[in-house]
Structure 1
Amino acid sequence: MNSNKKITLALTAIVIALAAVGYGAYQLGARKSVAAVAITAPAGKKPLYWHDPMVPGQRFDKPGKSPFMDMQLVPVYAQEGGGAADDGGVTISPRVEQNLGVRTATVTRGKLASGFSAIGNVAFNDRDVALVQARSSGFVERLYARAPLDPVRKGQALAEVYVPDWVAAQEEFLAARSMQGADTAGLVDGARQRMRLAGMSEGQIHGVESTGKVQARLTIVAPISGVIAELGAREGLTMAMGAPLFRINGLSTVWVNAEVPENMLGQLRPGDPVVAQAQALPGSDFKGKVSAILPEVNPTTRTATARIELANPGGNLLPGMFASVTFGAERGADVLQVPSEAVIQTGTRSVVMLAQAGGKFKPVDVETGSEGNGLTEIRKGLSEGQQVVISAQFLIDSEASLTGTETRMAGMDKMGGMQMKPATPAAASHHAEGKVEQIGKDSITISHGPIASLQWGPMTMGFKLPPTGLPANIKVGTQVAFDIKKGERGFDIITIAASKAMSMDGMKMPMAMPGVSK
């Protein structure tokens, strides 16, 4: 009986020793294999720099151990087309590029159309106004223009009036002209002047002289063509001197009061040519110029009024109509320009996705200028002839972060000379096995083996404990199998359990060993 126990103990010791040697050889071989893969340079290539894949923004000028993780730094090599293999870009296959609907445009140089459009209302031209007043007291006996906005022509009769003062002045003039003698010329001139002072026009005075008869009733005519904007005369009205009878607005030219955004005022100058279209007159263009920019900004709409003077042949543009006004034309020096849809506004930066040879796409920060006709000026960041993406930028950006992370869209990516599969999205879980090194209040430190789905080699790192806590059978030195997922501040453990092996001095050992009795 004692001999059997001795044999059992001896066999147990042998198995433990072999397991320890095998596990140690496995761990050493795995670490050396990953380290060799990570630092072995491809034939004929020299690393540009080294970095930790977990912290890609930090670069080092020589190899060594990462200050962030328990792993070796990974070299980054130049690509065939130039640039670093990990420069924040993404390489996609032609098939994926076609599926995404990627379209590109060329960066060109030319005059940027600085024009823009605004909406305004048609109004009377207040500089084309004629006011007809009563020059003397009298009576309106007959009215020809009877309603406001009636159209009138220059010279058209507006009203027939009786002015007693005009009758007395005419009779005095005719009496002086009929007198005989050498000193009657002065009397005639004085009588003519009194007719002028009574308010008679030169035409009316000439009518009295030519006919030799008193004109008891005089006709008032329109001084210009247009419409009657205000009507102050009515038949039977007693006129007072200076009373307004008619106000006539011309329609040969009109104003358009356009509301211009405050940030566009710097592009406008009085005299700039404009073209207007009215919804009521489709297909008709009305040309004019900026007459004035009114010195006031509406605090609610943040717009200012630009007064546009338009020629109105035929009087087709009527006050109150809506009109769309296009300001400006191509002017200024040649500039680099791209389609406006190629520019991604992030809030703090302006970014375009640069298309390079071999299906590679790279985000580039640019400085933009003015816009016009669907084009945007590029002041810095691009060169003439380059290709930029004008569609599917956000589909590319969803896999290749504009901040330069290691997420890739499709295909195989070279990192440190090793062909690797695309990184698993951060929201996915990743399985690993390892040994518990330390257990804290809210964290656990584990020395784990390689994690292929994250492209990690063996390392020791800390994780946040799962919400339910650790199982009771997990202690320091326990071999565990666990799943992790990307969290807000690193990777969190979502499930953890002791491996189906017992822990003995940090080595795995089967619970039941063939050929050994319990």
Structure 2
Amino acid sequence: MNIFVKQFAVLAVGAAIGGGAVWLWPGHAPGDGGGQHDTDGSGGEPLYWVAPMDPSYRRDGPGKSPMGMDLVPVYANDAAGPVSPGIVSPGTVSIAPEVVNNLGVRSVKVREAPLAGEIRTVGYVRYDEDRLIHIHPRVEGWIERLFVKASGDPVSRDQPLYELYSPQLVAAQEELVLALRRSNTVLLKAAEDRLRALQVAPETIAALKRDGQVRQTVTFRAPQDGVIDNLNIREGFFVGPSTTLMSIGALDEVWVEAEVFERQVDQVAVGQPVTMTLDFLPGRRWRGRVDYLYPSLDEGTRTLRVRLRFPNPQRELRPNMFAQVVIETDPGTPTLLVPREAVIRLGDRDRVVRDLGGGRYRSVPVRLGRLGARHYEVLSGLDAGDRVVTSAQFLIDSESSRQAALQRMGDAPQKPPQSARVSGTVVEMAADRRLVTIDRGAIAKWRRPPARVTFIVDAAVDLARLPQGGEVEFTFVIEDGEFVLTRVHEAGEGEP
């Protein structure tokens, strides 16, 4: 029983889709009695025949299109090609109300409003480099003791980092002790200034002045709160001023470096609000702001780096985390807006389908401006109050464009076909298909070199005048991209 119900449902859905297709098929409209073209002579003879999928393929009689489909006749009373009942003017499609309902055609009104824009991109969490400190010794020496053991260790301001033995530090302390013993205030001040320049802590200098005891090792302390990064030393290392011992980064506020496309650069400004989400805490959102726009674009990706700043009081954000960010751009002044789903983008042009009312629709070109979160800015092509289709518009656009193209073809003057007179050698003949392959000579007026070409032989040309291997002089024309041999000339015959 379940199998029977499923099969019946599939048949019902197929019938509904097929019914909608029949109503939109060229030549069918309500009350047309089946949608067949008038072939009994009451509507006149067909003007020409065209391919159903390519209105530019036109022939004088019935036949097959390049895709193998039967050509469709076009009559004088057709407003825009093969369809007359469903077309009220070139490019305008008329659809019955029940078909509109079956296809789910929906339309909305074009309105004026500020463009609520947002730019979605990705970024990486970084240290706040305004507060990223690199630790270097001011003298050469050996690491006697290391108080921090690994990158990522938290440290507090004035917490011991390492002890250093340096002959230069020992000598500087002895100078201070000597100045104290001699009560020489000038030498004492100079010795104190030297120790401070070598980053000796004030507490160490005070203890040295108090007890006069020279320390063989000096303890160096953290200049700020933060976490250790890039720890490059171990106990016993020999270090110098060029050695980066470690870095200390603050995490109570972090940077996020993101990238925006070149076309979006003018929409981003310092101070704009930003929302950030991360995979490691689904549903959690962080609020920040645009802090800085870098001055140059990446020449490979054509993107601009944008620096964002976020508070991080709980230290949940860690460097190198991957983040999704949304930059909220300035909406600006009110402008014409259409939904993103209403726009049909074709690469070199953009279109929408206008709802003209009464079941009539027309595909119209538009010029678009900025892209917002849900809407496009319309610069030209629509007016406030127009209605545009937001669903099933691709099917309507296809039919509207096809009918408009047929109308333009019918109105456009026909250009004479290109022709040339040339000589050549017959290589092969297919008499049953009236095809001949000829090694033709060069065509000077077209600057074409000699080539082997297969020609369609016109019905007026006697195939006996094209013997295989024979030298012939002939005229051919180019019609619809095909080479048609129209005349074989007698020897010595001049130009017509």
With structure 1 as the length reference, what TM-score do the two structures score? 0.57
8 Å Cα contact 1:294/1:306 also seen in 2: no
8 Å Cα contact 2:275/2:285 also seen in 1: no
User: In the TM superposition, what whole-angstrom CA distance separates every residue of 1:273-298 from its partner, at most 9, and x where no partner exists?
Assistant: 43322222321214131423351334
1:116 corresponds to: 119
1:159 CA displacement: 1.2
2:493 corresponds to: none
8 Å Cα contact 1:107/1:336 also seen in 2: yes
Does structure 1 residue 228 correspond to structure 2 residue 228?
yes
Mark the CA change 1:129 to 1:349 in structure 2 (over 3 Å): closer, same or farther: closer
1:356 CA displacement: 2.6
Mark the CA change 1:337 to 1:195 in structure 2 (over 3 Å): closer, same or farther: closer
1:403 CA displacement: 4.8
8 Å Cα contact 2:79/2:90 also seen in 1: no
CA distance in 2 between counterparts of 1:143 and 1:380 reads 70
Mark the CA change 1:112 to 1:343 in structure 2 (over 3 Å): closer, same or farther: same
Aligned length, in residue pairs: 346
Does structure 1 residue 106 correspond to structure 2 residue 106?
no
Mark the CA change 1:269 to 1:178 in structure 2 (over 3 Å): closer, same or farther: same
CA distance in 2 between counterparts of 1:161 and 1:88 reads 86
Does structure 1 residue 149 correspond to structure 2 residue 144?
no
Mark the CA change 1:336 to 1:136 in structure 2 (over 3 Å): closer, same or farther: same
1:100 CA displacement: 0.6
8 Å Cα contact 1:292/1:308 also seen in 2: no
1:392 CA displacement: 0.7
Secondary structure of 1:404 counterpart: helix
Mark the CA change 1:377 to 1:150 in structure 2 (over 3 Å): closer, same or farther: same
Does structure 1 residue 159 correspond to structure 2 residue 177?
no
CA distance in 1 between counterparts of 2:124 and 2:198 reads 43
Computing the radius of gyration from Cα coordinates, the structure with the larger value is: 1
8 Å Cα contact 1:169/1:198 also seen in 2: no
Aligned residues: percent identity?
A: 34
User: In the TM superposition, what whole-angstrom CA distance separates every residue of 1:142-181 from its partner, at most 9, and x where no partner exists?
Assistant: 21112233232222211123344434443443454355xx
- State how 1:258-407 maps to structure 2 within 5 Å: 258-282=258-282, 283-293=284-294, 295-299=296-300, 301-401=301-401, 403-404=403-404
- State how 1:34-113 maps to structure 2 within 5 Å: 85-113=88-116
CA distance in 2 between counterparts of 1:296 and 1:330 reads 22
CA distance in 2 between counterparts of 1:88 and 1:335 reads 28
**Aligned residue type for 1:202:** P
CA distance in 1 between counterparts of 2:152 and 2:354 reads 61
CA distance in 1 between counterparts of 2:330 and 2:193 reads 60
Unpaired runs of 5+ in structure 2? 1-39, 56-72, 81-86, 408-432, 435-458, 460-478, 481-496
User: In the TM superposition, what whole-angstrom CA distance separates every residue of 1:475-502 from its partner, at most 9, and x where no partner exists?
Assistant: xxxxxxxxxxxxx98xxxxxxxxxxxxx
Instruction: State the superposition RMSD in angstroms.
Output: 4.0
User: In the TM superposition, what whole-angstrom CA distance separates every residue of 1:368-411 from its partner, at most 9, and x where no partner exists?
Assistant: 1111112111111222222211001123335444653689xxxx
Mark the CA change 1:198 to 1:391 in structure 2 (over 3 Å): closer, same or farther: closer
**Aligned residue type for 1:326:** V
With structure 2 as the length reference, what TM-score do the two structures score? 0.59
CA distance in 1 between counterparts of 2:174 and 2:244 reads 27
**Aligned residue type for 2:303:** T
CA distance in 1 between counterparts of 2:145 and 2:104 reads 77
1:503 corresponds to: none
Out of 132, 137, 153, the position equivalent to 1:134 is: 137
Higher relative contact order (CA 8 A, sep 6+): 1
CA distance in 1 between counterparts of 2:221 and 2:399 reads 79
**Aligned residue type for 2:139:** S
1:232 CA displacement: 3.4
CA distance in 1 between counterparts of 2:260 and 2:112 reads 28
Mean Cα deviation higher: 321-330 or 289-298: 289-298
Secondary structure of 1:313 counterpart: coil
Secondary structure of 1:315 counterpart: coil
CA distance in 1 between counterparts of 2:257 and 2:218 reads 40
CA distance in 2 between counterparts of 1:70 and 1:242 reads 86
1:337 CA displacement: 0.4
CA distance in 2 between counterparts of 1:111 and 1:400 reads 31
Secondary structure of 2:235 counterpart: coil
Secondary structure of 2:285 counterpart: coil
CA distance in 1 between counterparts of 2:236 and 2:125 reads 36
CA distance in 1 between counterparts of 2:171 and 2:395 reads 93
CA distance in 2 between counterparts of 1:71 and 1:317 reads 72
1:505 corresponds to: none
Unpaired runs of 5+ in structure 1? 1-29, 36-51, 58-68, 77-83, 408-440, 443-467, 469-487, 490-518
